Amino acid sequence: MTIQSPFTAPVKAGVIPSSSVARFQPANQLQSGSSDKKETSATAIVYCEGNFGGIDGKTANGLVRHSQRYQILSIIDSDKAGRDAGYVLDEEPNGIPIHRDLTEALEKADGFPDYFIFGIAPASGMLSPTERGIVLRAIHCGMNIVNGLHEFLNDDPEFAAAAARSNVVIRDVRRPRDKKDLRVFSGRIAEVTCPRIAVLGTDCAIGKRTTATVITRALLDRGIKAVMIGTGQTGLMQGARYGIALDAVPSQFCAGELEATILDAFEGEDPDVIFIEGQGSLSHPAYSTSSFIIRGSCPDGVILQHAPKRFYRCDFEHMPMPTPASEIHLIETFANTKVIGLTINHEHMTDGEVSSAITQYEKELEIPVTDALTRSSEVLVEMVLAAFPQIGGQVSAEVA
């Protein structure tokens, strides 16, 4: 019996023991420690028709697992209507229902939702004609819109006029600052004296953001001040205090904008360690964001995410996946950094296969290997502390 990825798709029963899984806090349970006090009470319905639990539904999937900014009331996906969103993703009910359509979602909501979030991340980055109609209907109903696509709805006359009539706000998450305000790389990244760790992957939609979130939380629970830098639209929607949708920034400014964001986090939080969420894959010809993440952050270390049972790249069915060894070689050749560990996306793998893969890769690569969701988060903590023991030493000294 196999399971599909908890990062992208439903999980079948009886394979990964629930007691061993590093669970996420349900997105409908607000976090008192949120950095965005004003919006943590904002309620939202997330649209993910035909994609919830799948790769293109990664925005909705991420919001269900973790959201500091919005209280998620429900998901819209007629294919999975009537089910619990947490159970679909991780076989762990979280009280977030999946509804057939917007009408049902509004009828069953406990109060009128503040936001309608478009939770699909299609490769095109654009709305289909049907999706345009759904978003316009949400506007007409009086809901503010959160849009993570490359298509900026505020620039569309039809959407702008509809929003004005209904007195609602459209939030185009990916919109960068005006070019006059964008920053170029300065070299000031050298002023960041705490370790910077990038969480990269061998493919897109492979769980980099999820793993970075788990690591950050685990270190915070240990008393280590960790800060995560979001680099995509989902992380920003979830409530990342520091972040930028890097794939919408002109290439001239990508490294500089990320560098400046990391500096903001370092100066504002005085962290023990900073994690940078990866995008795409350095070896993937369709994406360049990984190279800008490495250049802008100049990471002291890298954690690599890999799916052993994924044989072809996402959305590129004739493009074979790289091996972890080849990706590690490329990363360490491209930049003055070191891959300190490998994390596994266990899509289509049994628990026994996960264990075998961990053993195999540890022997082959001679670095720590784990699965961020089905193994104890303490393994991730030890992975980081083994590479950067000064982090743990600082905390011990403070406690003493």
Between CA 263 and CA 274 the distance in angstroms is 10
3-state secondary structure 272-324: CEEEEECCCCCCCCCCCHHHHHHHHHCCCEEEEEECCCCCEECCEEEEECCCH
Ranges for all domains in the chain classified under CATH 3.40.50.300: 181-399
91 — pLDDT class (breaks 50, 70, 90): confident
Ranges for all domains in the chain classified under CATH 3.40.50.720: 21-175
> pLDDT (tens digit, 9 = 90+) per residue, 50-79?
999 988 899 999 999 889 899 999 999 999
92 — pLDDT class (breaks 50, 70, 90): confident
Bin 8: left if φ > 0, else alpha if -120 < ψ < 50, else beta.
Answer: alpha
- Evaluate whether 228 touches 262 at the Cβ level (below 8 Å): no
394 — pLDDT class (breaks 50, 70, 90): low
Which of 109, 116, 131, 108 lies closest to 51, judged by CA? 131
Q: What is the pLDDT of residue 16?
A: 37
pTM metric for this prediction: 0.84
3-state secondary structure 61-111: HHHHHCCCCEEEEEEECHHHCCCEHHHHHHCCCCCCEEECCHHHHHHHCCC
Whether domain 21-175 has CATH 3.20.20.70: no
Residue percentage of the chain with pLDDT more than 70? 88
Mean pLDDT of 307-319: 93
Between 46 and 121, residue with greater pLDDT: 46
Determine the topology of domain 181-399 in CATH.
Answer: Rossmann fold (3.40.50)
> pLDDT (tens digit, 9 = 90+) per residue, 123-158?
788 999 999 999 999 999 999 999 999 999 999 999
